[in-house]
Amino acid sequence: MKKIILTGILCAGLFFYTDAQTTIKPDSVLAIMNKAAHWQIGRFEAGQVKNAEIGWENAALFTGLIALKQLNNEKTYDRFLYDIGERHGWDMGPNRFFADDYCVAQMYTSMYLEHRDPKMIAKWKLLADSVVAKAYNESLKVVPNINHREWAWCDALYMGPTGLALLSQATGDEKYLNKADSLWWKTSAYLYDTTARLFYRDSRFFEQREQNGERIFWSRGNGWVIAGIAHMLDLMPHNFVHRRHFETQFKEMATKIASLQQADGSWHASLLDPTTYNQKETSGTGFFCFALAWGVNHGLLDKHTYLPVIDKAWQALITAVHPDGKLGYVQNVGSGPIKADFESTNTYGVGAFLLAGTEVYKLYK
């Protein structure tokens, strides 16, 4: 009953919200995005980023920088991303069928679509051809190294499919998008709880519970997924065979996620236990803010219902930015909820922040 009341408040009680009530200005959105981006690039230049340069953590950052670059094509951003590609020969990580290790292909393919330099996607296309040819016939139950063979964890739905969909756009060959589609729905069938309308991180969490007795639905994990749906919808044709399935899952998750927003506009690390994890968490919040704003911008979500949620989420994000541009409250690397604080940061959180900002900017431009 409580959940029904919350959803009712979201869908009905906020109906009369108007654009005039917001204090968000596009120029201020772009300014704080640039500040966060420059701070993060400065950490690379100072050698203060500990993650593997083309690992998933930084690859998620690059997706945010690509989005920002489309709004503000600073030469600094293009040169930074180009230099990353050059240093690594436009190649992926060492585990060839591990989605985390080819997340960086999203940046390579986006750069190719702008610059049309074949070297940027040559190695990715060879690997993607192998992904297309692979059978993917194992169970997704967590066993040793299953993630190196299957998309057996929900994060993979951000890491893997967008790069494949982008490659279809780059080459005109829909086989890559088709493979991303089939693998998406295999993972979804296993990890998506149709009652909760949320994703488990992986099979280890099916029976686990939080301190309050609720099931464990990880904020960033679900952020990876709903952001991944938005990316996929951006890249698939309007007549694509399963487009309506993606739209339905997106709307289901959006409704549920909006109903779980906390009073300060954020989402905490554990979606159903915000008391144990009693601080905001900006990587999940960033992805949720991005996805909800994207949904409004693309006509999938009702503007009057979701604008208050988006505005509060953006305010929660910008109050986590330090004066020098560092983004705080980013949960550290993990496979489930972990507490974060004002000093906690990581590159994927900045990527989520930049994605959110690009859609908020468009919303009010």
Q: How many angstroms from the chain centroid is the CA of residue 176?
A: 20
What does the alpha-carbon distance between residue 329 and residue 327 come to, in Å, rounded to a whole number?
7
User: The tokens 């679900």 sit on which residue?
Assistant: 222
Enter the tokens of residue 49. Answer: 């980023």
Among 155, 181, 202, 273, which one carries the catalytic annotation? 155
> What sign for the dihedral angle of Cα 177, 179, 185, 190?
negative
Enter the tokens of residue 31. Answer: 């300014």
User: The tokens 């990890």 sit on which residue?
Assistant: 191
> What sign for the dihedral angle of Cα 71, 74, 78, 81?
negative
Asked if residues 345 and 330 have their Cβ atoms less than 8 Å apart, the reply is yes
Backbone angles phi, psi at 47, to 5 degrees: 70, 30
Enter the tokens of residue 257. Answer: 């996620």
- Name the helix (H) or strand (E) containing 193: strand 192-193
Is position 101 annotated as part of the catalytic site? no
Q: What are the catalytic residues?
A: 155
